[in-house]
Amino acid sequence: MKRPTELVPRKRPVQQRSKETVEAILEAAGRVFASHGFAAGTSNRIAARAGVSIGSFYQYFPNKDAIVVALMERHMAETTATFEALKDLSDRVVMTVEDVVRHFVMALLNTYQQDPALFRVLFEEAPRPLGIHNTRAKIHEAVANALVPQMGRLITAQLRDPLVSAHLLVEVATASVRHFVLHTPAGLKAETFAEELIVMIVAYLVGPEPTMTPRSANP
């Protein structure tokens, strides 16, 4: 009867009532993790915060980790949607490199700023081997791949290897924004940070040709 650490929801809620319960649990879990951290975000605390019994918690989630997984999946779905939207946009309207990069960075920033404390728990504190790792890697991969043609279209300067550049871009942007938001270095405002990061990425992509963002104000 050993049930090897299941991470998928236990039971699909069919009635309206149970859908609400699941929703309440997820919502409560987010708030509890954000305020107490992963270790102190106990299943009982989450259930209490959700206003349901601990039994209900375990009707829908086989264990505590499954909650983290569910929360991450939510976040990832959102992230993916954001990127899709950006891709669609750049397909429809003419955008400069800087426009694309700005959208990208801002989307990341907005995402993480929604709930920094929670994301700290989800992305750093919660134990890895949740299988979620692969999912995240796949998303990055997909985004990077999607970027390649965009880059080809927009960037005249030739990059050594567009795919590598796309990967780098995704990694650097994600890591930097996340790190900035989750650990908020004092003395650096989000807008300033974002603006400079955009400059950096654009400088990298556009190369040693003049850009539309004047670096210096000197006449």
Partner DNA sequence: AATGAATGAGGCTTCATTCAT
Partner DNA sequence: CATGAATGAAGCCTCATTCAT
213 is a contact residue toward DNA (CB under 7 A): no
For 157, the token pair is 């300067």
180 is a contact residue toward its own copies (CB under 8 A): yes
Which does residue 107 touch among DNA, its own copies, none (CB within 5 to 8 A, set by kind)? none
Binding marks (x or -) toward its own copies, 35..74, rule CB under 8 A?
-xx-xx----------------------------------
Q: Which of 64, 87, 136, 140 touches DNA (CB under 7 A)?
A: 64
53 is a contact residue toward DNA (CB under 7 A): yes
Start-end of H helices in the chain: 16-36, 43-50, 54-60, 64-92, 97-114, 116-120, 132-154, 162-183, 190-206
96 is a contact residue toward DNA (CB under 7 A): no
Give, rounded to a whole angstrom, the gap between the first and last alpha carbons of the chain: 76
Q: Which of 48, 107, 159, 162 touches its own copies (CB under 8 A)?
A: 159
14 is a contact residue toward DNA (CB under 7 A): yes
Angle at the Cα of 117 from the Cα atoms of 191 and 42, rounded to 5 degrees: 175
Restricting to residues 105-144, name those near its own copies by CB under 8 A. 120, 123-125, 127-128, 133, 137, 140-141
For 12, the token pair is 């699909």
Cβ-based burial of 3 (10 A; exposed 0-12, middle 13-18, buried ≥19): exposed
Distance separating alpha carbons of residues 173 and 44, to the nearest angstrom? 37
Residues near DNA (CB under 7 A) are 1-4, 11, 13-15, 17-18, 20-21, 39-40, 42-45, 52-59, 62-64
